[in-house]
């Protein structure tokens, strides 16, 4: 039970962090901003000064996409702008499926943790094992849903929100992005695995522990704390010893 109520919330935090961060996939595009041999002039009336540039300066843009937010940043610069997902990426049915699975996973995991935490042994003398195990079942289901969402997104990572390949080839203004998995995906995978481990540990609550029986009375179980017969430990008379230093 302790293993379950430690791993399940940790997995929930990691999956929630992955859901709200915009680093599910990343890509970069290299743009030329100055042509070779360009001439820059400045000066007053009747006077001029020319500076010829003989190299091409490249501007590298870093693009990152998440479930609800996209960001664009200039490499080696503090210039960064983020905005809610729009366009083809937002309308992609595979992205909508991933969003729905992640939200459902977060809800089920939170509900399972609440059920498990209020009914485990740490806060009550007699734990409700059925309720705690039901919470574990919800946590396992949440882990399966988040793993499914991550699998769908990873499998279609390079195709989410992308136009038809024929249009990209015929349109020279569309810059190619080499997309690859980013940090939020790894947070999600780790959190989903922890949810599975925590929920599986709580599922063992369905199995009730078997205590040894009292030799003098087989029908009475032995106290699991003192390992003695209840008919002896329940006697009102006890011996008290005073120890002085």
DSSP-assigned letters across all residues of 118-179: TSSGGG-SS--HHHHHHHHHHHHHHHHHHHHHHHHHHHTTTTTT---HHHHHH-TTSPP---
Look at strands 180-181 and 49-53 and give their pairing: unpaired
- Is the Cβ–Cβ distance between 11 and 143 less than 8 Å? yes
- Rounded-to-integer distance, Cα 71 and Cα 177, Å: 14
Residue-level pLDDT at 132:
85
Q: Provide the pLDDT confidence category of residue 123 given band limits of 50, 70 and 90.
A: low
Regarding predicted confidence, which is higher, 32 or 5? 5
pLDDT digits (tens, 9 = 90+) for 139-180: 999 999 999 999 999 999 888 887 755 444 444 444 556 788
How many whole angstroms from its chain centre is CA 146? Answer: 8
Fold of 2-30+59-209: Butyryl-CoA Dehydrogenase, subunit A; domain 3 (1.20.140)
- Residue 232, pLDDT > 70, answer no
Query: Which of 41-50, 53-62, 149-158, 233-242 has the least mean pLDDT?
Result: 41-50
Please state the domain extents for the chain.
Answer: 2-30+59-209, 212-245
Question: At residue 229, what are phi and psi to the nearest 5 degrees?
Answer: -75, 140
């Amino acid at each position: 039970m302790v293993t379950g109520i430690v791993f399940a919330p940790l997995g929930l935090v990691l999956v929630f962090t992955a859901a709200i961060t915009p680093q599910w996939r990343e890509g970069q595009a290299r743009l030329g901003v100055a042509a070779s041999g360009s001439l820059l002039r400045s000066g007053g009336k009747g006077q001029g000064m020319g500076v010829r540039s003989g190299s091409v300066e490249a501007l590298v843009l870093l693009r990152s996409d998440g479930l609800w937010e996209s960001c664009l940043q200039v490499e080696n610069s503090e210039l960064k702008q983020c905005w809610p997902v729009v366009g083809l990426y937002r309308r992609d049915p595979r992205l909508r499926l991933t969003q729905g699975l992640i939200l459902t996973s977060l809800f089920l995991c939170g509900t399972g943790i609440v059920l498990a935490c209020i009914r485990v042994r740490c806060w009550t003398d007699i734990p409700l094992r059925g309720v705690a195990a039901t919470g574990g079942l919800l946590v396992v289901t949440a882990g399966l849903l988040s793993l499914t969402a991550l699998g769908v997104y990873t499998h279609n990572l390079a195709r989410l929100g992308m136009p038809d390949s024929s249009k990209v080839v015929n349109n020279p203004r569309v810059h190619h992005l080499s997309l690859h998995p980013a940090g939020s995906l790894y947070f999600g995978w780790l959190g989903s695995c922890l949810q599975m481990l925590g929920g599986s540990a709580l599922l063992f609550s369905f199995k009730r522990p078997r205590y040894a029986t009292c030799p003098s009375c087989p029908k009475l179980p032995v106290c699991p704390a003192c390992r003695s017969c209840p008919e002896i430990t329940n006697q009102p008379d006890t011996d008290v010893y005073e120890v002085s230093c």
